[in-house]
Amino acid sequence: MMKTYPTNDLRNIFLFGSGGSGKTTLAEALFYNAGITTRLGKIEEGNTVSDFTNEEIRRRNSLYLSLCFIEHKEKKINLLDTPGYADFISELYAGMNVCEGVIFVLDGSVGLDTSSEMLWEETTNKGLAYGIYINSLDKEEINFWALVKTIKERLVNGAQLFYFPYGEGVNFSGIVDVLNLKLVKFTDKKIELMEIPKEIEEIAQKEHNQLIESITSENEELIEKYLEGKGIAPEELKVTLQKAIREGKIVPIFCGSAKKNIGPQVLLDFIIDYFPQPKVSENNSLSALIFKTYLEPHTGKLSYIKVFSGIFSSGVDIYNSARRVRERVGQICCVQGKKRVDISSLSAGDIGCIIKLKESMTNDTLCLEKEPQVIKPIIFPEPVMDLVIYPRTQGEEEKVANALATVVQEDPTIKWHYNSETKETVVYGMGAVQLEAMVERIKERYNVDVGLGRPRIPYKETIKTKSEVQGKYKRQSGGRGQYGDCWLRIEPQERGKGYEFIDAIREGRIPKNYIPAVEKGVKQAMEEGIIAGYPVVDIKVTLYDGSYHEVDSSDIAFKIAGGMALRKGVEQAQPTILEPIMIVEITIPEEYLGAVVGDMNARRGRILGMEGIGKRQNVKVQVPFAEMYKYAADLRSLTKGSGKFRMTLSHYEETPHLVIQKLIEEYQKSKTAKNE
């Protein structure tokens, strides 16, 4: 069984960066150098520690947050590898809310692209300690120094170079330690410190002086010593640097090639020596937050927790303050991808997993019932894409619903509901890739073959003028017949006022007991739609006349008569179709403003305003919902992955004539097909 580490011996670090930057490869190198694995796993071979699900192996990309631990120099590093694609940004949010340190990974051959900048912005102002790792320096045509300059100008002023490469491309063979003025060479896991070669001595000294000046400027006593040319003890420098990194005032830049295992070795030591220990609550009473839920096919539910205070032990009863239920903690473990190692307890600040909690979910606080606490929940982004999900085999709707109920436990950005208006099950997410991966998971785990499609737009029908019509249903076929006769006045209401039914029958022209039947017929016809099969809204229906038969009248006859009158009345009152109009707020880098505005104009959008926020523009638009299908993917394409948006319903308004005609034609064709 694994030993329990005290808080000051823990480091919680999450890796992030855009897709393809090499985060998982860097994680593999860290595991290898720490002795967790005996060889470097490769994404293309599907044998990495952190990308272990079948979907990730098939796609050769990280899709989910993966937790692993590293024991190094009598310390424990909890390393969270996160996916780099916007569709899976909930995993990034989970990671950065339970870690104190961040390593931002950049592919040196790609540089600082807009997607990377967007991810960086998502994590800033979180009070974390940051580091930047420039990866893949064994590739050709890399301008390392230009990239460092860009990082300082566009990402963070406090970025400071701690290592730079020795050699380029195929000649890249080591890194220069700027702080200690040493050339670091690597032979497998071994590090060899050498004197700085003459040809780079000048640049190394220049970078060293800049770094020392940057560190000492964070401490008044040290800056005085530095300016006076006095010696500074290494321990003084270390304490100041630790504080500066912890407060985010200095962001160290590392470099190397994870694939060639050049550089990751020093990163391990640096994390231990300079990155902060976990932030824990001063309250010693037990509190922990579930930040991720994973449903393992054979084991059951795994609840990933961060302990914020107290000692979390197995074999005890805990209290879920969010759901007000008690849970029994059975097995606690630390994980390395899919591998689990049992542990008896977790100290404050540590991260691990609980197996088979019954009712607890992501964002729930676990504590003691006698000392209840609530940890601030993670605020996940709202989904931006909706698709219809359906079983490819009839009769499996319930299976799909059950599968979705479990899927949403694992990803808080996936939501779903049954739309009674369109008779469809709609699933919401951050993008098409996320929802496609969800479908793969459902098929694999629950043996349900499902498809995704475009949702029906929730159009509404209404009228523009008034009409007065008769609905008369009379049938005689031997024996008792059927007779119902009603006159309706149908008028338009203000937009959004809804439906109103008025009983204006006088002198008993229709007996009171048949009037509810008339309204039932009216409502049913409204729900079914008249001209295009969409619900009728914003009308006032007045029942003002009619007749009945002493023997043949019945509820069903008057219900049919009411429906007949409503259909006829709507057709005679200039019917039209309303479409949902959305308010869309789009945030993009300024250079993409023209392209995004032009795209919105093509979607029948109306620009309501623009506002500059730093280097970005916030564009507010009114646009028809029908024009927003798969906009998440289109916006990413337009902005190279750097744009984001949120969308809310504003109101309904009349649809353009050409669209109305198309909807009516489609409806008539579908009716004809059903009757054939």
C-alpha angle 63-64-69 in degrees, rounded to nearest 5: 130
Residues 6+ away with beta carbon under 8 Å from 157:
none
Quote the mean pLDDT of the chain.
92
CATH label of the domain that carries residue 539: 3.30.230.10
Report which of 628, 659, 662 is spatially closest to residue 646, judged by C-alpha positions.
Answer: 628
Mean pLDDT to the nearest integer, 274-301: 89
Q: Which run of H or E residues covers position 498?
A: none
CATH label of the domain that carries residue 599: 3.30.70.240
CATH label of the domain that carries residue 319: 2.40.30.10
Mean pLDDT to the nearest integer, 212-222: 92
Residue 439, beta-bridge partner list: none
Sheet architecture: strand order including 539-547: 467-475, 482-492, 539-547, 500-503
Give the Cβ contact number of residue 227 at 10 Å.
10
- Residues 404 and 310 both lie in one domain: no
What sections of 538-604 are H helices per DSSP? 555-571, 593-602
What DSSP character marks residue 125?
T
Q: Do strands 129-135 and 101-107 pair parallel, antiparallel, or not at all (unpaired)? A: parallel
Residue 195: the pLDDT is 95
**Is the confidence at residue 59, as pLDDT, over 90?**
no
Residue 478: the pLDDT is 65
- Residues 566 and 598 both lie in one domain: no
Largest Cα–Cα distance in the chain?
A: 117
For residue 70, the SS3 value is strand
For residue 642, the SS3 value is coil
Residue 669 lies in a domain: no
Residue 76: the pLDDT is 97
For residues 308-318, b (16+ Cβ closer than 10 Å) or e, as one string? Answer: bbbebebeeeb
Residue 497, beta-bridge partner list: none
Residue 376 lies in a domain: no
User: What does the alpha-carbon distance between residue 102 and residue 84 come to, in Å, rounded to a whole number?
Assistant: 14
Q: pTM of this prediction?
A: 0.85
User: What does the alpha-carbon distance between residue 204 and residue 338 come to, in Å, rounded to a whole number?
Assistant: 43
Signed CA dihedral, 45, 49, 55, 56: sign only: negative
Residue 664 lies in a domain: no
Residue 213 lies in a domain: yes
Residue 50: the pLDDT is 79
Do 102 and 96 form a contact (C-beta atoms < 8 A)? yes
- Residues 89 and 219 both lie in one domain: yes
CATH label of the domain that carries residue 225: 3.40.50.300
* Residue 444 in tokens: 């694999």
Residues 6+ away with beta carbon under 8 Å from 422:
455, 456, 458
Q: Is 75 left (phi over 0), alpha (psi -120 to 50) or beta?
A: beta
Q: pLDDT tens for residues 119-143? A: 888 888 788 999 999 999 999 889 9
**Is the confidence at residue 175, as pLDDT, over 90?**
yes
Residues 6+ away with beta carbon under 8 Å from 454:
387, 388, 629
The domain of 487 spans 461-573
Last residue of a domain, one of 334, 367, 400: 367
Last residue of a domain, one of 516, 541, 573: 573
Residue 491, φ and ψ in degrees, nearest 5:
-130, 150
Strand positions, DSSP E, 162-220 = 163-166, 174-177, 182-187, 190-194
Residue 495 lies in a domain: yes
CATH label of the domain that carries residue 432: 3.30.70.870
Signed CA dihedral, 504, 505, 507, 511: sign only: negative
- Residues 483 and 526 both lie in one domain: yes
Signed CA dihedral, 216, 150, 268, 271: sign only: positive
Report which of 359, 350, 319 is spatially closest to residue 332, judged by C-alpha positions.
Answer: 350
Q: Which run of H or E residues covers position 540?
A: strand 539-547
**Is the confidence at residue 676, as pLDDT, over 80?**
no
Task: Kindly report which listed range (304-308, 417-421, 427-431) carries the lowest average pLDDT score.
Answer: 417-421
**Is the confidence at residue 557, as pLDDT, over 90?**
yes
* Residue 416 in tokens: 């779903």
Residues 6+ away with beta carbon under 8 Å from 384:
429, 430, 431, 631, 632, 644, 645, 646, 647
Residue 109: the pLDDT is 92
- Residues 325 and 436 both lie in one domain: no
- Residues 190 and 54 both lie in one domain: yes
- Residues 185 and 260 both lie in one domain: yes
Of 563 and 550, the structure prediction assigns the larger pLDDT to 563
Do 559 and 484 form a contact (C-beta atoms < 8 A)? yes
**Is the confidence at residue 114, as pLDDT, over 90?**
no
Residue 489 lies in a domain: yes
Q: Which run of H or E residues covers position 541?
A: strand 539-547
- Residue 507: pLDDT band with limits 50, 70, 90: confident
Residue 5 lies in a domain: no
User: What does the alpha-carbon distance between residue 247 and residue 183 come to, in Å, rounded to a whole number?
Assistant: 29
138 CB-side CA count, 13 A: 12
What DSSP character marks residue 480?
S
Helix 264-274 and helix 234-246, axial crossing angle in degrees, nearest 10: 90
Do 231 and 225 form a contact (C-beta atoms < 8 A)? yes
Give the Cβ contact number of residue 329 at 10 Å.
20
User: What does the alpha-carbon distance between residue 667 and residue 662 come to, in Å, rounded to a whole number?
Assistant: 9
Residue 375 lies in a domain: no
Helix 397-410 and helix 432-446, axial crossing angle in degrees, nearest 10: 120
**Is the confidence at residue 430, as pLDDT, over 70?**
yes
Q: pLDDT tens for residues 581-633? A: 999 999 998 899 999 999 999 999 999 999 998 778 999 999 999 999 989 88
- Residues 437 and 504 both lie in one domain: no
Last residue of a domain, one of 548, 573, 598: 573
* Residue 553 in tokens: 């009248």
* Structural domains in the chain (count): 5
C-alpha angle 430-432-438 in degrees, rounded to nearest 5: 85
Of 371 and 421, the structure prediction assigns the larger pLDDT to 371
What sections of 41-88 are H helices per DSSP? 54-59
Residue 233: the pLDDT is 85
% residues pLDDT > 90 (the chain):
70
Burial of residue 452, with CB atoms counted within 10 A of its CB: 0-12 exposed, 13-18 middle, 19 or more buried: middle
**Is the confidence at residue 40, as pLDDT, over 90?**
no
Residue 375: the pLDDT is 94
- Residue 562: pLDDT band with limits 50, 70, 90: very high
- Residues 83 and 191 both lie in one domain: yes
Whole-number Cα distances in Å, 9 to 5, 55, 70, 539, 569: 6, 35, 12, 69, 77
Burial of residue 11, with CB atoms counted within 10 A of its CB: 0-12 exposed, 13-18 middle, 19 or more buried: buried
- Residues 80 and 214 both lie in one domain: yes
Report which of 570, 560, 371 is spatially closest to residue 471, judged by C-alpha positions.
Answer: 560
Residue 613: the pLDDT is 83
For residue 365, the SS3 value is strand
What DSSP character marks residue 641?
T
User: What does the alpha-carbon distance between residue 255 and residue 522 come to, in Å, rounded to a whole number?
Assistant: 72
* Residue 604 in tokens: 């029948």
- Residues 145 and 269 both lie in one domain: yes
User: What does the alpha-carbon distance between residue 446 and residue 190 come to, in Å, rounded to a whole number?
Assistant: 47
Mean pLDDT to the nearest integer, 301-314: 95
DSSP assignments along 391-452, one per residue: ESSTT-HHHHHHHHHHHHHH-TT-EEEEETTTTEEEEEES-HHHHHHHHHHHHHHH---EEE
- Residues 29 and 142 both lie in one domain: yes
For residue 210, the SS3 value is helix
Q: Which amino acid is at 544?
A: Y
